[in-house]
C-alpha cells in the first residue's frame, strides 16, 4: 500500500468514515491531495469538516476507511504520521497559564526539536508572528488574533511538512486574518502542504484547490476559478433601494436563477443563455416603483458558487456536528 503512494502525494484518503452513535459525520470520503498545495475545505457548519481533519491528523480514529499521510496509514501507523504534521484545532489549544515562550518551548521539547535549534526557531517564529515583545506574557492574556498566531507558531515549531488548520481565523479580526494568511502564503512558498477548513469564501479563494463538503461528503473539488466557472449562469450586480422588496420582485422573473445580498448590492444569478437580461431586470424593478442605480455584469465569486453548487436539499436540516471528547 505504502509503496504505491507517489512521493508527490501528501494525503490519500480512501473511504474515510466516522460515525458518532447514529450520526455519520464523515461519510466515505476519498480524496488525494498533492504535496505543496494549499487545500481549502469549505462547507456549512456541521458538514463534517472538523471530523475529517481530526481523522487525518490522527486525533480521531476513523470508524472505517483509512488515509495515508506521506504514505503512512493514520490507522495502523499513526506514530509515523505525527512527526510530519502540525494540527491547529478550532478552539484555542495552548496552555493559558504558560507564557508565550514557555508554550513554544514545551511543544518544541514535546515534538523533539533539536536543542541546538530551539532558540533560533522560536526566535524566528516569534518574529514572524509578531509576538516577540509578548514573549513573557501568559497566553491567556493575549488577544484573539495573537492567540491564533501563537497557536500557529507552536504548531510550526517542529517544522511539519503538512499543516492541518481547522478554521484558524474564526473569531479573529480582519487585520489579523489577513496577516495570518500572509503567514500561510509564506509557508506555501516554503513547500509546506496546508489543509485548511474555513467558513470564509475570501480565504477559500486564496487556496490552490478547494473542496465543498456537506453532510459528511465532499461533493465537489476544483480550483477556485474552476468552481466559479461551474456556476450555471452569470452574475449581474444591481444597485437598488430596498433589498428585501426588490428581491421578491426579481425572484418572480423567469431568467433569475438565484439572488444574494452583497453589501449595498444585490447579486443576481441569471442563466448563461438569458441574453440581454440587464434590461429585463431594470424594467421589472422600475415598473415596481424602485429607484434603480447601476445594473452591470459582474464576476462570479465563490460565495455564489457555494450557494448554487451545494444542493439545497439538506441545507435546512444540516445536523449539528457532534464532536465528543477526544479519545471516545
Partner 1 sequence: MRRILAITRKEFIHIMRDKRLLGVILIMPLIQLFLYAYALSFDVKHLPTATLDMDHTATSRQYIDALQQSNYFTVDNVLTSYSQVDGAFESNRDKVVVVVSSGFGNDIAAGKAGKVQVLVDGSDSTGAQLGSAYSSALSRIFGAKIAITQAEQKGYNVTSAGGLTASVRTWYNPEGVSAAYFVPGLIVVLVTMITVLQTANTLVKEKENGTYEQLIVSPISRIELMVGKIAPWAFIGALDIVVIAVVGILAFGIPFRGSVWIFGISSLLYVICTLGLGLIVSARATSVDSANQVAALVSFLPTFMLSGFVFPLSSMPAALQFLSYFYPARYFMTISRTVFLKGGSPAVLMPQVAALAVFAVIIVVLAASIYRERA
**Coil, strand or helix: which one is 209?**
strand
The answer to whether 138 and 98 have CB atoms below 8 angstroms apart is yes
Q: Which of 140, 112, 139, 116 is nearest to 126 (CA)?
A: 139
Judged by CB under 8 A, does residue 135 bind partner 1? no
Distance between CA atoms of residues 92 and 27, nearest Å: 27
* Torsion, CA 43, CA 44, CA 47, CA 53, rounded to 10: 50
Shortest separation between residue 231's beta carbon and partner 1, angstroms: 37
Shortest separation between residue 159's beta carbon and partner 1, angstroms: 13
Judged by CB under 8 A, does residue 119 bind partner 1? no
Q: Which of 239, 245, 288 is nearest to 268 (CA)?
A: 239
Angle at 182 between CA 181 and CA 188, to 5 degrees: 85
Mark the segment that binds partner 1 (CB under 8 A) among 76-84, 169-177, 198-206, 227-235.
76-84
Shortest separation between residue 108's beta carbon and partner 1, angstroms: 8
Among 83, 186, 232, 311, binds partner 1 (CB under 8 A): 83
C-alpha cell at 219: 461533493
In the bound state with partner 1, the residue whose beta carbon lies nearer, of 87 and 181, is 87
In the range 33-72, which residues lie near partner 1 by CB under 8 A? 54, 57-59
The answer to whether 208 and 37 have CB atoms below 8 angstroms apart is yes
Provide the phi-psi class of 199: left if phi over 0, else alpha when psi is between -120 and 50, else beta. alpha
Among 14, 35, 111, 221, binds partner 1 (CB under 8 A): 111
In the bound state with partner 1, the residue whose beta carbon lies nearer, of 154 and 249, is 154
Among 28, 35, 106, 217, binds partner 1 (CB under 8 A): 106
Shortest separation between residue 250's beta carbon and partner 1, angstroms: 45
Among 1, 110, 248, 261, binds partner 1 (CB under 8 A): 110
- Per-position b or e across 120-159, b if 16+ CB within 10 A of its CB: ebbeebbebbebeebeeeebeebeebbbbbbbbbbbbbbe
Distance between CA atoms of residues 44 and 130, nearest Å: 32
Mark the segment that binds partner 1 (CB under 8 A) among 74-82, 121-129, 172-180, 239-247.
74-82
In the bound state with partner 1, the residue whose beta carbon lies nearer, of 110 and 225, is 110
Among 154, 218, 227, 240, binds partner 1 (CB under 8 A): 154
Judged by CB under 8 A, does residue 91 bind partner 1? yes
Among 39, 70, 87, 134, binds partner 1 (CB under 8 A): 87
In the bound state with partner 1, the residue whose beta carbon lies nearer, of 87 and 290, is 87
Shortest separation between residue 9's beta carbon and partner 1, angstroms: 20
Q: Where are the alpha helices (DSSP H) in 82-173?
A: 100-110, 115-128, 144-156
Judged by CB under 8 A, does residue 276 bind partner 1? no
In the bound state with partner 1, the residue whose beta carbon lies nearer, of 98 and 271, is 98
Among 2, 8, 30, 96, binds partner 1 (CB under 8 A): 96
Distance between CA atoms of residues 177 and 179, nearest Å: 5
The answer to whether 293 and 242 have CB atoms below 8 angstroms apart is no
Burial of 274 (0-12, 13-18, 19+ CB in 10 A): middle
The DSSP H or E segment spanning 270 is strand 265-270
Q: Give the residues lining the site for partner 1 (CB under 8 A).
A: 54, 57-59, 78-79, 82-83, 85-87, 89, 91-98, 102, 106-107, 109-112, 154, 325-327
Amino acid at each position: 500500500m505504502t509503496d504505491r503512494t507517489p512521493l508527490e502525494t501528501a494525503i490519500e484518503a480512501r473511504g474515510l468514515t466516522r460515525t458518532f452513535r447514529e450520526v455519520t459525520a464523515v461519510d466515505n470520503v476519498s480524496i488525494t491531495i498533492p504535496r505543496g498545495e494549499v487545500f481549502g475545505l469549505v462547507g456549512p457548519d456541521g458538514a463534517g469538516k472538523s471530523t475529517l481533519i481530526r481523522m487525518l491528523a490522527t486525533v480521531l480514529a476513523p470508524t472505517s476507511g483509512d488515509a495515508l499521510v506521506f504514505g503512512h496509514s493514520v490507522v495502523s501507523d499513526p506514530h509515523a504520521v505525527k512527526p510530519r504534521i502540525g494540527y491547529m484545532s478550532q478552539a484555542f489549544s495552548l496552555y493559558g497559564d504558560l507564557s508565550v515562550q514557555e508554550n513554544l518551548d514545551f511543544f518544541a521539547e514535546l515534538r523533539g526539536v533539536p536543542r541546538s535549534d530551539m532558540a533560533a526557531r522560536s526566535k524566528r517564529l516569534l518574529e514572524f508572528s509578531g509576538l516577540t515583545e509578548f514573549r513573557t506574557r501568559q497566553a491567556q492574556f493575549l488577544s484573539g488574533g495573537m492567540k491564533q498566531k501563537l497557536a500557529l507558531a507552536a504548531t510550526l515549531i517542529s517544522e511539519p511538512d503538512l499543516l492541518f488548520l481547522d478554521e484558524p481565523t474564526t473569531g479573529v479580526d480582519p487585520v489579523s486574518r489577513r496577516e495570518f494568511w500572509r503567514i500561510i502564503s509564506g509557508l506555501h512558498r516554503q513547500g509546506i502542504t496546508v489543509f485548511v477548513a474555513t467558513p470564509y469564501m475570501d480565504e477559500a479563494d486564496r487556496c490552490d484547490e478547494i473542496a465543498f463538503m456537506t453532510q459528511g461528503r465532499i461533493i465537489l473539488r476544483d480550483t477556485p476559478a474552476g468552481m466559479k466557472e461551474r456556476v450555471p449562469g452569470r452574475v449581474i450586480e444591481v444597485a437598488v433601494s430596498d433589498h428585501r422588496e426588490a428581491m421578491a420582485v426579481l425572484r418572480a422573473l423567469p431568467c433569475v436563477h438565484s439572488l444574494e445580498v452583497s453589501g449595498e448590492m444585490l447579486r443576481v444569478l441569471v442563466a448563461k443563455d438569458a441574453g440581454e437580461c440587464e434590461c429585463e431586470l431594470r424594467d421589472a424593478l422600475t415598473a415596481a416603483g424602485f429607484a434603480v442605480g447601476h445594473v452591470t455584469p459582474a464576476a462570479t465569486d465563490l460565495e455564489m458558487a457555494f450557494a448554487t453548487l451545494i444542493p439545497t436539499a439538506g441545507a435546512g436540516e444540516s445536523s449539528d456536528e457532534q464532536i465528543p471528547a477526544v479519545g471516545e
